Structure 1
Amino acid sequence: MTVRAGILGATGAVGQRLIQLLDPHPDFEIAALTASGDSAGKQYRDAAKWRINMQIPDDVAEMTVGETSPDAVPDDLDIIFSSLPSSVGAAVEPEFCEEGYVVSSNSSNARTDPDVPLTVPEVNADHIDLIEVQRDERGWDGALVKNPNCSTITMVPPLAALDEAFGLERVTVSTLQAVSGAGYSGVTSMEIIDNAIPHIGGEEEKMETESRKLLGTFDGAEVSWHDARVDASCNRIPTLDGHLENVWTDLAESATAAEAEAAMEEYPSLDLPSSPDQLIHVFDDPSRPQPRLDRDRENGMAIATGGLQETEGGLQFNCLAHNTMRGAAGASILNGELLLENGYL
């Protein structure tokens, strides 16, 4: 089965990553591209300032970019991937769902809405069935599914492994986030070169809320958020890609560093086209993971951890993920694969 896919916000940083990953995908076929009014009507090669280290696929380069409206895309699309700014997504994504489109979105709007699945498939695949509640409550034929913030998705799989094995009571995290997380025009060179910025607007709240929803339980009607306390401090540093995070945990049961390493390494991946063979890679070398060396593991879809140390009441570790692959475009596509596997496309 070939799944016809559209991309909303196709000219932006995450939109370009979606094209990079979808063009060779075994199941999905790019059938529509949309962007802002300034780009609509142009061929994609003329509309996009292409910044991926590969050529624009020939068939995509010649596609005409449409307006971001349900009236402007083909009515036979099976799925839509959204990388819109959240302010635009909040207005536009429900319109697509009302018209019967299934939307897998990277945009931050609606992630914590009680009837919107927020999923990392390896961690909470069962939450995808919240779609049934959503359709009943909103009267949609379509559906809206979200992946979490790129900083949240970096730490949640290791936390899920620890929670499953030992019980999770509290999390404190300090991030060192790459500039690509802000988009191509989000941080100027004069701000970030020879510098670090100890605040990223809204980021801490996203990590503190989204992680608890992801680690929560779904009973078929609603998601009960995990009751662990999560405190985050988010910092921008001058790396291009790859969010590195320092995490401290309080656990319900004591665990050695070796036991925690085993829990992380044994935490299962999934048999989806974009799934890494091993979800969490653990380094014994305390100087790893590092963004430049480890962000591209398993096509950028693995989580790398290291620096495991026992603390009073818990554990400390470092974790890393490629923020525009695992943390954005790849996460949306993985959710699309989960939707396909579960019969929602």
Structure 2
Amino acid sequence: MTTKVGILGATGAVGQRLIQLLEPHPDFEIAALTASASSAGETYRDAAKWRVDSPIPASVADSTVRETAPDAVPDDVALVFSSLPSDVGAEVEPAFCEDGYVVSSNSSNARMAEDVPLIIPEVNGDHVGLLEVQRDARGWDGALLKNPNCSTITMVPTLAALDRFGLESVRVSTLQAVSGAGYSGVTSMEIIDNVLPHIGGEEAKMETETTKLLGSFDGSTVETHDVDVQASCNRVPTLDGHLENVWADTTEDVTAEAAAEAMAAMEGADLPSSPERMVRVFEEPDRPQPRLDRMLDSGMAVSAGGIKETSTGIQYDCLAHNTMRGAAGASVLNGELLRSEGYL
């Protein structure tokens, strides 16, 4: 039996990706689309400026867009995917949870809250147990689960593989695609023939979310990892795909070959949207590249390459599709985890 789902913020860039992924999904059935009050009552075709690289699904094109409020979503919807702006999500998502809805959210609000699981299923799927603590503490019948920032999710699976060597500190410089800022987030005059060496709030997200994702769950709390992370985040004129240069210092000596083997051994989760192998490792020194490699495993794989030893650890490059694995796909995967673990 399929699970009926809703999409909050369905007309935006990530909302459109969610529709692209959920419409053919074997376990989920789209039953509600919400947007801002100005779009409520319109057909989805009219409300959304469809910009995804596939036709708008006929099954949703003529659906009526609803207001983003719990009483506007049918009671038989068991799970809602949220791609709301963080300030809106901070207000709306708890209201849905109080009303009994389970929310798989891509929005940045509450990611570091002590009782909100921040999850990459292949890395820390066991943290989903924190929802029991959350429900007890907040008195919710629903629940709130988050996926991390698109730049964080690109790097963390590779770090999880290296943690067996005693992960001590990480330095990362990102080259982030313009789609990460949304359709109107960066103008052509800003980015063509240019690089923007600052993305507001992005560095702090990478530095804090990484420690939570790599932390351990003891059944009641998540103890964050003590790895020290410092990030420099840059916007580059690439459409999709965040490429990152990472320096990881380890307490143990590690060879490039051992690091590559550890990354390649990262398995996928037993969920429909998870790739068989979480990390694809390239031997070629000039890979991964956004245009060539962002759609590996339907955009859900992380790729790594250029792995070499340093005097204190390992240096390498990693890549992920920022609106697939880094946003919509991550939320769908977390929805699959919630369904698999009986939270719906």
TM-score of the two chains, using structure 2 as the length reference = 0.99
1:297 aligned partner: 296
Map Cα deviations across residues 231-270 of structure 1 (whole Å, 9 max, x no partner).
0000000000000000001101111000000000011111
2:17 aligned partner: 17
Map Cα deviations across residues 97-116 of structure 1 (whole Å, 9 max, x no partner).
00000000000000000000
Provide the identity percentage: 72
Secondary structure of 1:234's counterpart equals strand
1:243 aligned partner: 242
Secondary structure of 2:33's counterpart equals strand
Alignment of 1:172-187 (within 5 A): 172-187=171-186
TM-score of the two chains, using structure 1 as the length reference = 0.99
2:111 aligned partner: 111
Secondary structure of 1:281's counterpart equals strand
Secondary structure of 1:235's counterpart equals strand
1:122 aligned partner: 122
Alignment of 1:1-345 (within 5 A): 1-163=1-163, 165-345=164-344
CA–CA distance in 1 between the matches of 2:97 and 2:18? Answer: 20
Runs of 4+ in 1 over 6 A off after TM superposition: none
Q: Displacement, 1:278? A: 1.4
Q: Displacement, 1:277? A: 1.5
Secondary structure of 2:234's counterpart equals coil
> How many residues end up aligned between the 2 structures?
344
Secondary structure of 2:318's counterpart equals strand
Listed as ranges, the gaps of 5+ residues in structure 2 are: none
Q: Which amino acid aligns with 2:167?
A: L
CA–CA distance in 2 between the matches of 1:135 and 1:7? Answer: 22
CA–CA distance in 2 between the matches of 1:54 and 1:306? Answer: 30
Map Cα deviations across residues 194-242 of structure 1 (whole Å, 9 max, x no partner).
0000000000000000000000000001000000100000000000000
Q: Which amino acid aligns with 2:83?
A: S
Q: Displacement, 1:312? A: 0.9
- Aligned CA RMSD, in angstroms, stands at 0.5
Secondary structure of 2:235's counterpart equals coil
Listed as ranges, the gaps of 5+ residues in structure 1 are: none
CA–CA distance in 2 between the matches of 1:134 and 1:270? Answer: 24
Secondary structure of 1:45's counterpart equals helix
Map Cα deviations across residues 72-120 of structure 1 (whole Å, 9 max, x no partner).
1101101000000000000000000000000000000000000000000
Q: Displacement, 1:53? A: 1.4
